[in-house]
Structure 1
Amino acid sequence: MKFKLIKKDTKTSARRGSLTTPHGTIETPIFMPVGTHAAMKAMTPSQVKETGAQIILSNTYHLHLRPGEDLIAKAGGLHRFMGWDGPILTDSGGFQVFSLPNKKITDEGVFFRHEVSGEEVFLDPARATAIQEALGADIIMAFDECIPYPCDKKYAAASTRKTIRWAEACKKAHTRKDQALFGIVQGSVFEDLRAQCARELVQLDFPGYAVGGVSVGEGLELLKKVVEYTAPFLPENKPRYLMGVGLPEDILESVERGMDMFDCVIPTRYARSATLFTNRGKIRLTHRNYRRDFYPVDPNCTCYTCRNFTRAYLHHLFNANEILSATLASIHNVHFYLNMMAEIRAAIEEERFAEYKRNFLESYLKGK
């Protein structure tokens, strides 16, 4: 994997880059749609690609439970198994594991119950790395402890030290040269813990770094602060990934503070509940106001859905509980996000990111 820093905004910390992987080049800043179970909900791989997606994310924890990494490896790896020929990133499963009830966290790893069979499962850094190597994604993540919010500083400090130790163990266990292993910076909302974690991970010399433990209830203002005092400790010549952040306003604030990569289930999850993103804010297409609305979802959008269908048609599909409603809404929402990222990249290149952000949010938040 190679990362090239193409342009730095002179008025903010926004960056324009290019990330080359074995399955293609990713232009950053970029949003990664989430296909948790090796599938984008309600979308085919070709539909995902048509939205402008350059890389997608799948989840190690869920794929380990079903169908299992051995089967996926036997099928030729995750790319062939799911029919996606572009770059893939796999999350280590840390967030999912630590969201489970009745788990037992030790210094070595985590014990939890298989959500289907009920049997006890143990996951540690070496196992999480081995599973991801078998899956074969282009970018894989170190196994970390995702710290809940709020939490006291004593717990956060002990957890952060554990994440650093586990990152080192992941690096020792990692053997595939065609995969890039990213370290994950934890530390909750405590500035000194974030700095400590970032410094020690940088010493381990990962090819990329993520900021984890955000979007866990801390709110936009604390999110901005965490990114603000973490990003300066991360190498300028390596990609920076903000995990699980997915609202447009959150992405814009984080790009301004120097982050390059984002992922979230929001575009497709919101789509399935009839909530669609437009340049003038979100709209809920099940509302009766859209029954006779023959405009596209967003008149300025060029996605397949907006080129061919009206709000009235989607309103009908959702009310009739047609599967097509989720597909057309997901196509639009994912396209909206990827188009926003393309506009962000162009704005950074043309030294007008601050203006773009201001204009976007003025229109988007006014319509919320």
Structure 2
Amino acid sequence: MIAVHRFRRLLFGTNRRCSHWIGNRHIPYYFNYQPNSRQLCKDAFRVEEKEEIQNFFRFEIVHQSSKSRARVGRIYTPHGIVDTPAYVAVATNAALKHVDHRLVSEAGQQLMFCNTYHLLLHPGPCVIEAAGGLHKFMNRKGAIITDSGGFQVFSLSHGSVYDELNMKSRSGGNKNFTSLLLSVTEEGATFRSYRDGSKVTLTPEYSVQIQKSLKGDIIIPLDELPPYHMERSQLEESVNLTHRWELRSLQEHRRNVQNQAMYAVIHGGIDTELRQKSIDFLCSLPFDGFAIGGSLGKNRQELFQLLEFVMPRLPTAFPNHLLGIADLESIERVVPLGVDTMDSCYPFRVGRHGNLFTRRGVLHISQSKYKNMFEPPDPEWGLKDVTLAYLHHLLKAREPMALTLLSLHNAIFMVEYMNDIRKRILQDEI
């Protein structure tokens, strides 16, 4: 097929002629690297080149709703098909919290998200590569997506990684936490390991190399994660830096594709002008899909307003992914906007806190009214062979099995919930 790619000059100043891998050929573009400057030039030029068809990864639209932008699709990966819209379960350390991922896969979980940052620090990419990649390491047959590690690295500045590892509420804070993020430069981000204090510099190239060792089906380029409250000029600098990092990530990826797809990450906070700038730049590059990342707003209202702007501007022929947002209320709102996949640890987190998903709402299983209810949480979705009374007993008795069963129920519920959403789209009800 013919792919038309526009490569922008990245910085003011004298240009250097560089090249970009497309297939097995070099395509020239101009890159001026000045570490202290982050302004993107407005100049652009176009390069036309035949690119080999990638038969290991493709996306097809099965049905477009007549009622909204909602669509049913299929993502074809080396490890199976992902039916969309789909919830993506988060297996941070190559494991779901309190649940054997094989049980969730048997229930129909087609795509899982593993975290590059945590796997870099332990057991290390060399160990996983020696095992044959994540699929063999964790014995998973279905598709896997890995992130760049950037989210966790930039979360180091306010302690959310500490809270994530210790299952603490971010709102509660941690007075003894010391930021482990040391610096952010043109080269990359430097931080200290939370395990042994060693210094690590995560560059765009290194992030991709790690993900090559992990051998996931879909990988993500390194991006900077700015906080919600930031001056507009600083946010623009951050977007520009992210664009340069993503281009470098794409170059590194194209040197050795090894049957992996790469999604770009659209940035710009809630600033629509910067979001448009990010869409224009990243859609001009040969990415395989697009993720919506960065700051997504301070509440659901801002999130939905942002997606109403972004989603119609993404190319419809490519799959898209919403990073980190997949609670039930949000899913109902973002699917009609055209979101294909979305990830979150939300079903497992609320399960660990004694909450069960049902079609009649979320049940707080610790409440005494469930003590004598000898019926399953939901008659059709989720676990059908355990009763509310038994789950209530396990939780009150502080049995570890309670966390497993509650989390497993929510995971299976999500699979069946997304199956139902796809059926409703096919019937033009969404």
TM-score class, shorter: over 0.9
CA–CA distance in 2 between the matches of 1:248 and 1:121? 37
SS for the counterpart of 2:113 is strand
SS for the counterpart of 1:308 is coil
Q: Which moved more, 1:145-154 or 1:310-319?
A: 145-154
The residue aligned with 1:346 is: 423
CA–CA distance in 2 between the matches of 1:149 and 1:294? 46
**In the TM superposition, what whole-angstrom CA distance separates every residue of 1:172-209 from its partner, at most 9, and x where no partner exists?**
11122300011000100000111110110000120100
The residue aligned with 2:151 is: 95
2:348, 2:407 within 8 Å by CA — same for their partners in 1?
A: yes
Of residues 225, 235, 238, the one that matches 2:305 is: 225
1:8-27 aligned within 5 A: 8-27=64-83
Q: Which moved more, 1:22-31 or 1:101-110?
A: 101-110
Of residues 156, 160, 179, the one that matches 2:239 is: 160
Of residues 278, 287, 290, the one that matches 1:209 is: 290
1:143 aligns with 2:222: yes
The residue aligned with 1:234 is: 314
Question: How many residues in Structure 1 have an aligned counterpart in Structure 2?
Answer: 349
CA–CA distance in 1 between the matches of 2:110 and 2:295? 24
Amino acid at match of 1:30: A
Q: Which moved more, 1:12-21 or 1:289-298?
A: 289-298
1:150, 1:218 within 8 Å by CA — same for their partners in 2?
A: no
Following superposition, the deviation at residue 124 of structure 1 comes to 1.0
1:175-194 aligned within 5 A: 175-194=256-275
CA–CA distance in 2 between the matches of 1:335 and 1:45? 11
Following superposition, the deviation at residue 231 of structure 1 comes to 1.4
1:252-263 aligned within 5 A: 252-263=332-343
SS for the counterpart of 2:223 is coil
TM-score norm. by structure 2 comes to 0.79
Query: Gaps spanning 5+ residues in structure 2: where?
Result: 1-56, 158-178
Following superposition, the deviation at residue 119 of structure 1 comes to 1.3
Following superposition, the deviation at residue 321 of structure 1 comes to 1.4
1:334 aligns with 2:411: yes
Of residues 383, 400, 409, the one that matches 1:323 is: 400
1:214, 1:243 within 8 Å by CA — same for their partners in 2?
A: no
The residue aligned with 2:348 is: 268
CA–CA distance in 2 between the matches of 1:312 and 1:293? 5
1:309 aligns with 2:386: yes
Give the number of the structure whose residues are more often strand, by fraction. 2
SS for the counterpart of 2:191 is strand
CA–CA distance in 1 between the matches of 2:74 and 2:379? 31
Following superposition, the deviation at residue 308 of structure 1 comes to 1.1
Amino acid at match of 2:390: Y
1:113 aligns with 2:192: yes
Amino acid at match of 1:41: K
Amino acid at match of 1:75: A
1:147, 1:187 within 8 Å by CA — same for their partners in 2?
A: no
Amino acid at match of 2:407: S
SS for the counterpart of 1:121 is strand
The residue aligned with 2:51 is: none
CA–CA distance in 2 between the matches of 1:148 and 1:278? 34
SS for the counterpart of 2:201 is strand
**In the TM superposition, what whole-angstrom CA distance separates every residue of 1:297-324 from its partner, at most 9, and x where no partner exists?**
12332x3x3x211111001111111121
Percent identity at matched positions?
38
The residue aligned with 2:113 is: 57
The structure whose Rg is larger is 2
Cα distance change of structure 1 residues 11 and 214 upon mapping to structure 2, 3 Å threshold? farther
Q: Which moved more, 1:317-326 or 1:53-62?
A: 317-326
1:173 aligns with 2:246: no
CA–CA distance in 2 between the matches of 1:295 and 1:111? 52
SS for the counterpart of 2:237 is helix
1:126, 1:169 within 8 Å by CA — same for their partners in 2?
A: yes
Following superposition, the deviation at residue 273 of structure 1 comes to 1.0
1:185, 1:201 within 8 Å by CA — same for their partners in 2?
A: yes
Query: Gaps spanning 5+ residues in structure 1: where?
Result: 354-368
Aligned-residue RMSD, C-alpha: 1.2
The residue aligned with 1:293 is: 373
CA–CA distance in 2 between the matches of 1:13 and 1:340? 19
CA–CA distance in 2 between the matches of 1:41 and 1:211? 25
The residue aligned with 2:5 is: none
Following superposition, the deviation at residue 214 of structure 1 comes to 4.5
Of residues 363, 372, 376, the one that matches 1:283 is: 363
1:122 aligns with 2:201: yes
2:268, 2:295 within 8 Å by CA — same for their partners in 1?
A: no
Amino acid at match of 2:125: E
Q: Which moved more, 1:171-180 or 1:75-84?
A: 171-180
Amino acid at match of 2:139: G
SS for the counterpart of 2:186 is coil
2:153, 2:191 within 8 Å by CA — same for their partners in 1?
A: yes
CA–CA distance in 2 between the matches of 1:350 and 1:26? 20
1:45, 1:83 within 8 Å by CA — same for their partners in 2?
A: no
Amino acid at match of 1:335: I
2:218, 2:260 within 8 Å by CA — same for their partners in 1?
A: yes
Following superposition, the deviation at residue 45 of structure 1 comes to 2.8
Following superposition, the deviation at residue 46 of structure 1 comes to 2.3
Poorly superposed stretches of 4+, deviation over 3 Å:
none
